[in-house]
Each structure stands twice: as structure tokens, then as C-alpha cells.
Amino acid sequence: MLFADEEFDHETVTFGRDEKRGLNAIVAIHNRSRGPAIGGCRMMAYPDETSALTDVLRLSRGMTYKCAIADIPFGGGKAVIIGDPSTQKTRDLLHAMGDFVEQLGGRYITSFDSGTSLEDIRVISERTDHVGGIQPGSGNVSSSTAYGVFVCMQEAVRLRLGAESLDGLVIAIQGAGNVGSRLAKLVAKDGGHIVVAHIDESQARKVASETGGDYAQNNRILETDSDVFAPCALGGILTEETAWNLSSPVSCGGANNQLSEDAVADALKQRDIFYCPDYLVNAGGIIDLHYQLNEPSRDPLGRHLDSLGQTLRECYEYTKTHARSMVQATNRVAESRIQ
């Protein structure tokens, strides 16, 4: 069996092929009970179509949960283009993708993801209006993502450590890219001491010096003595093994799919590590997209991002009576908002 039943509860899966323009793509729409499906367009050299299908089904389902927990009027969708973005991405292919999205009649709204850039989405938008992330004056959504992570971190240290702010706490950040470097500045402004690691040590040094913090070797960041671990690089960083090596009582970061499997949440709980579920913590970017698409004034954006902290607290309260871990609690809260 390819998929567990509960993972295969999608509304539609559509294949888009255009041999002439080199497009081989799939769009999965998981659930539209809250509104049109939204989710990035990933381009990757998948080994075969089954891997691409598995990815798009999993990612679109994740988007339904993310939109629900973020409380925005969108459902979950995702697109994948099968192909190597460094060699196979052409203007023609992106136009074919735009035509494919347009054929879906607004049921799916696309944006950028791994292997596609804002510039690519601009090219796609020459063929369809159903795109997000390129609205004039919108800036980089990573700022909103980082702010959402920061708000959740403040709430997490309140709940787990009884701390009123990050003042005097040590925050270990893995990955100083778009999200991690912005998060570092917010944390430092709140009085937190940064320890940052990056695959390229010069980038870690730069962010450390800008924030008055320190840098650590990339392979030592999990064991760094800290109050909060903030994974802001790759997914799958928290495994059964790393969960036992983690020295921080709180884990709260922007990376997607941080747990190698859901069972790792139980290992973290056993060690009394307060794990903040990634799709809640990093929902700031999708909330920003909602305001770009639906509320050009953007006035309520800050308040909406602040509400992520309250949602985290709500999920925490839920664990006291109804759930065995923060992951399970967050899933249940999200499901209560999906029909």
C-alpha cells in the first residue's frame, strides 16, 4: 500500500503535462472547506513520478493543517514540477505551469517553494492571476515568518520556564538564512543571547557579530548549552537520537517538518522538552500571503501574527486534558477548524 488511508483523503489530484514546453507537474488539492487551496510550487529532480506524487500529497495535506492553525480562509494545496530546477527550468515551462494553474479556475493558488523563486512566480503570473507572494509592496514574507517564530518563542519560554521575555536567555539558532538571521535580530532586541550555526561559518560569524552573540560549529549546535533551540535550516533535524542529545528545554524554530517522525514528539516530551510544532510556529509566512491577497492594507497583519502565541498556549492547554504531546494537540486543534 502506497499511502495510509488518512493521508489519502484529498479532494483532487491533477496531472499537468505539456511535452512541447517540458512540463510534467502535479497539483494536489487536499481540502477547501476553509477557502481556495494555497501552497507553494516545488521543483525537484524526483527520481520517479511516485516520489513526486507522495511528496505533493503529503505537502498539500500539511498546508490544510497550516492554514487552519493560522486561522486564514484558505485550504491546503501544493504543486510539484518534476525536473531539475538548475537545468530544466525555462520561461516556456513556467508559462506552461501558469496555464496549468489557470485551468484549475482559482481552486488552487500557487507561490514559491524549494526550486522556485519569486521571479519564477512572476513569470507564472504572466499566465494566471492565481498566484501569491508577488503583490506590490509585500516584501519578503520571511520577516513575518521570523516574527511568528519569535512570538511563539516568547510564549514557549513563558509556559516552560516562567520567563516573561527572552532577556538573559540563550537561544541556539541552526541556520542563519532568511528566517534564522531575522529571528536572531528580534531575539537580540528582546535581550536574548544568540548562539548561531550555519553551514557556511562566515555567515554564522556575520549574524553573531550583528547581534552581539556567538557562533557555534554546525555539528555542535544541538548540544550547545541553551534555553531554546531554534531549528531554522532543514527538516528532519529532530530524530529519536538527536532528541536525546538536545540540551535545551524548549525547541521552537522556523524549519518545516522538523521531526523525522511524529513519534519523536513523545521522546521530547519524556525528556520534558517543550516542542513547538513547526507548522504552527512558522505560519507567519502564509498569514502574510493571506494579507497580500485579501487585505492589501496589511494593518491587521501584526495582530494576526501575535495571535500565534495564543494559539500555542491553547494547544498547550489541550495537552493537559486531551493529548499526549504538543504535536497531537496542535493537530486536534487544527482538525477542529477543518470540516
Residues found near ligand NAD in the complex (CB under 6 A):
141-142, 145, 174-175, 177-180, 197-199, 218, 232-235, 254-256, 282, 285
Q: How far is the CB of 17 from ligand NAD (least distance, A)?
A: 27
Q: How far is the CB of 197 from ligand NAD (least distance, A)?
A: 5
3 state DSSP class of 43: strand
Q: How far is the CB of 8 from ligand NAD (least distance, A)?
A: 24
Where do the H-state alpha helices sit in 49-191? 49-70, 85-88, 91-103, 118-124, 142-161, 178-189
Listed residue (43, 18, 38) closest to 28, CA to CA: 38
3 state DSSP class of 143: helix
If the CB atoms of residues 23 and 72 are measured against ligand NAD, the closer one turns out to be: 72
Bridge-based pairing of strands 12-18 and 23-31 is antiparallel
29, 102 contact by CB (below 8 A): no
Q: How far is the CB of 146 from ligand NAD (least distance, A)?
A: 8
Q: How far is the CB of 175 from ligand NAD (least distance, A)?
A: 3
Q: What does the alpha-carbon distance between residue 288 and residue 144 come to, in Å, rounded to a whole number?
A: 6
The tally of CA atoms less than 13 A away on the side-chain side of residue 199 is 5
Q: What does the alpha-carbon distance between residue 279 and residue 66 come to, in Å, rounded to a whole number?
A: 6
In the structure, how many helices (H) and strands (E) does the chain have?
13, 11
Nearest-CB residue for ligand NAD? 177
Q: How far is the CB of 40 from ligand NAD (least distance, A)?
A: 9
Give the count of beta carbons closer than 10 Å to the beta carbon of residue 277: 27
146, 176 contact by CB (below 8 A): no
CA dihedral in degrees (105, 110, 115, 118; nearest 10)? 120
3 state DSSP class of 234: coil
78 flagged as catalytic = yes
Q: What does the alpha-carbon distance between residue 51 and residue 56 come to, in Å, rounded to a whole number?
A: 9
Q: How far is the CB of 114 from ligand NAD (least distance, A)?
A: 7
If the CB atoms of residues 105 and 235 are measured against ligand NAD, the closer one turns out to be: 235
If the CB atoms of residues 118 and 199 are measured against ligand NAD, the closer one turns out to be: 199
Q: What does the alpha-carbon distance between residue 6 and residue 58 come to, in Å, rounded to a whole number?
A: 11
Q: Which of 20, 66, 78, 185 is catalytic?
A: 78
The tally of CA atoms less than 13 A away on the side-chain side of residue 33 is 13
First-to-last C-alpha distance (Å) of the chain? 26
Listed residue (315, 288, 337) closest to 141, CA to CA: 288
If the CB atoms of residues 96 and 259 are measured against ligand NAD, the closer one turns out to be: 259
- Catalytic positions, please? 78
